[in-house]
Amino acid sequence: MENFEELFIQESLEMLEELEASLMELEENPEDENLIAKVFRIMHTLKGSSAMFGFDAISEFTHKIEDVYDRLRSGKMRLTSHLIDLSLAACDQIKLMLSDKSLGISDVRIAKILDDFQLLAEGKRKLLPTENESKPYISLTKKQSKKSDLSSERIYRIRFKPNQDITRRGVNVSFIIQELTDLGTSTVVAHTFDIPNLEEINPELIYVSWDIIITTNKTEEAIRDVFIFVEEDSVIDISIIDEVDMDDDSEFECKRIGQILIERGDIEPEELNRLFKDRKLIGQVMVERGLAHPDMVESAFAEQEHIRKTNQKKRQVAAKASIRVSAEKLDRLVDLVGELVTLQSKLTQFAISKGSDDLLRIAEEVERLAWDMRDNTMGLRMVPIGTLFSKFKRLVRELSSDIGKKVVLEMSGEDTELDKNVIELLNDPLVHIIRNSIDHGIEPPGERKARGKSEYGTISLSAKYSGADVIISISDDGKGIDIEKIRKKAEEKGLLTRGQDYTDKEILDCIFSPGFSTSENVSKISGRGVGMDVVKRNIESLRGNIEIDTQIGKGTTIILRLPLTLAIIDGLLIKTGDSTFVIPLPYILECVQVSTHDLSIFSADVIDIRGEAIPFIRLRDRFSIHGRTPDVEMMVVVEENGKKLGIIVDSVIGEHQTVIKNLGGAYEKIPDISGVTILGNGDIALILDVSALMSVDVLKTKGGV
């Protein structure tokens, strides 16, 4: 039972995330009936499942919220920002109730929210906008991607009764029926109760009418177009039975036969209530008493079966679409694939050493399968970054409202995929950046209007692929960063030397220093000098880098470049003495052959490469590697954030795709090393931390280029 309860909590938290995202969209589109229905369905699901697992307080709490959204979807009230605020507060309380089962509806905060929803449900507090009601400060816009056809289908009921003499105009009714069935999955029932006796039949007349139940992604207008030549002299009734949202886990209701017949107008509700006293099947009783023709009952049964099959299809699509696997199992699978790749390398080397063609062919086949498995396993860890972006809607909404600013959040590239571990570790840095953009970047509405700008500021989140990396940009159209102000503050703190020339980039990099802030006052959002140093440290821990681009009066863009995955990197295998190292390939500019004479031209550890002075370090000296230094060495030139560094090694072996492994707790703080990998021959190669090497004293004293 504990396992089931744990699964319920996890699924409930996921539903709450979806609920928050839906509420944010609903605030943008308050008339969207589908979104209102989606919020209602989530609350309904939470109510039922929480009662099942003993979370009775949540069940009672969500029941009141469900009542309000039921009134909303029935048109008895309209949406305002107050209801969104109340609903978001309810989400927070449900999360607390999931983590602490002892919390009940008697809790002060929960009771206050419950009272407000109770008043709304009873209609004692209206949610109609008034003249004095201000618009919410937040207006979120999101570039929507097209949904799949399956996620936007509807079930239509079409009742078609053509004029009896329609064939005399050359109309072939069978073609109309065929064209309808081509629009989607359909069920067709013909009504024959108007057919007269054989001696009274006129072969030129049509006595049959039809009920067509169809599941399609086409609009009602597209369905009516089928009847364009017969609508004037035919009875045509098109109604929507239900929406089919394949992205929604909840099932829509399969209506009872009596309910379907009432909706169609084939029987009155009073007659149906009288029939409930009989214990026979409702359809059988109606036919026996002459209240409904057998064709009508048959058509109702067909509609019920059509809905049931659509529901079954929805469950099958959902089952195929996803499967829940714990993160621990997925990480273990990645580790096993890494071991398999290492073992495959050993097999290949063994096959080469034996000189056996048959063994080599087997090794090549194993290599192909191993790399295919590796690529597919890595793909399992890839998650669309939109799952992270969507969380910031509420952050922007609440922060901008708290400090009286108007902010629009725009997002693009939500389908860009990143390793799930990267996305998890990326949340905090993005929160810091967005908070700073709202507090420092976006001006108050009055100030923006005075500068000729829209009173609504814009924060843009975007993601795109760039080779083996993903570039994430966070932009605002605010006042920009005053570089001269940053310079003065940096000089006061001793980060920059007075009177010395620095590039804009070097000055802006001071923002990432611990304790650095230009705010005169400390607010609850920022001003303490804590945040951007943590951002840089977290991004570098992800083997990424960060850049700032700003223009006074126009805004600021912060660019994050991150690897697609933390599990595998492309690297350059190098050797110094008996030790083997890996340098991540994205940092490498070039490899240059150098001699002892080349390195001794300058008195300092700087070398001239095509007229450019580049500082360098010897890996042999850095790691105290003993042995004879070769007469001709190799220098690997790496670059990060515009700074270059030469790494002197004995030899370059070649490119190597590296499965990264952690060093373990005892060795995780070793400087200049970010990880380790196992080579095909079983040897261990250390992965160099280029960012750490860039911070060595030689760069500070020689001022890398």
- Grouping H, G, I as helix, E, B as strand and the rest as coil, residue 561 is strand
CB 120 within 8 A of CB 71: yes
Task: Read off φ and ψ for residue 438, nearest 5 degrees.
Answer: -70, -45
Q: Which of 306, 414, 421, 436 is catalytic?
A: 436
How would you classify the pairing of strands 632-640 and 588-595? antiparallel
Residue 414 phi/psi, 5° resolution? -65, -20
Coarse DSSP helix, strand, coil percentages of the chain, rounded to the nearest 5 percent:
45, 20, 30
Q: What are phi and psi of 473, to 5 degrees?
A: -115, 135
- C-alpha torsion angle, residues 584, 586, 590, 596 (rounded to 10): -30
Going by C-alpha positions, the residue among 423, 415, 420, 414 that lies closest to residue 461 is 414
Distance from C-alpha of 414 to C-alpha of 398, rounded to nearest angstrom: 22
66 counts as catalytic: yes
3-state secondary structure 505-560: HHHHHHHHCCCCCCCCCCCCCCCCCCCHHHHHHHHHHCCCEEEEEEECCCEEEEEE
Per the DSSP assignment, residues forming a β-bridge with 548 are 558
- List helix spans (H) across 29-165: 33-52, 56-73, 81-99, 108-121
Decide the pairing of beta strands 684-688 and 579-584. parallel
Of 25, 27, 66, 414, which is the active-site residue?
A: 66
Judge whether 404 and 137 are in contact, CB under 8 Å.
yes
Give residue 516's identity as a one-letter amino acid code.
F
How far apart, in whole angstroms, are the C-alpha atoms of residue 543 and residue 5? 37
Q: Measuring CA to CA, which residue among 177, 304, 175, 180 is closest to residue 242?
A: 304
Question: Can you say whether residue 109 is alpha, beta or left, with left for phi > 0 and alpha for psi between -120 and 50 degrees?
Answer: alpha
- The helix or strand, by DSSP H or E, that contains position 24, with its residue range, turns out to be helix 2-28
How far apart (Å, rounded) are the C-alpha atoms in residues 99 and 80? 30
- Active-site residue, 44 included: yes
Q: Are strands 579-584 and 568-576 parallel, antiparallel or unpaired?
A: antiparallel
What is the rounded CA–CA span in Å between residue 604 and residue 624?
A: 20
Question: CA 501: distance to chain centroid?
Answer: 44
DSSP state of 152: G
Say which residues have a Cβ less than 8 Å from residue 542's Cβ, sequence separation at least 6.
422, 425, 426, 562, 563, 566
Active-site residue flag, 436: yes
Of the candidates 206, 123, 199, the residue with the CA atom closest to the CA atom of residue 160? 206
Q: Are 70 and 37 a contacting pair, CB within 8 Å? A: no
First-to-last C-alpha distance (Å) of the chain:
62
Q: Of the listed 11, 17, 18, 44, which one is catalytic? A: 44
Instruction: Pick left, alpha or beta for residue 96 (phi over 0 → left; psi -120 to 50 → alpha; otherwise beta).
Output: alpha
CA distances from 606 to 165, 184, 700 (A): 98, 72, 12
Contact yes or no for 394/24 (Cβ under 8 A) = yes
Question: What region, left, alpha or beta, does residue 357 occupy, with left being phi > 0 and alpha being psi -120 to 50 degrees?
Answer: alpha
Q: Which residue has the tokens 């080779």?
A: 467
Q: Give the active site residues.
A: 44, 66, 436
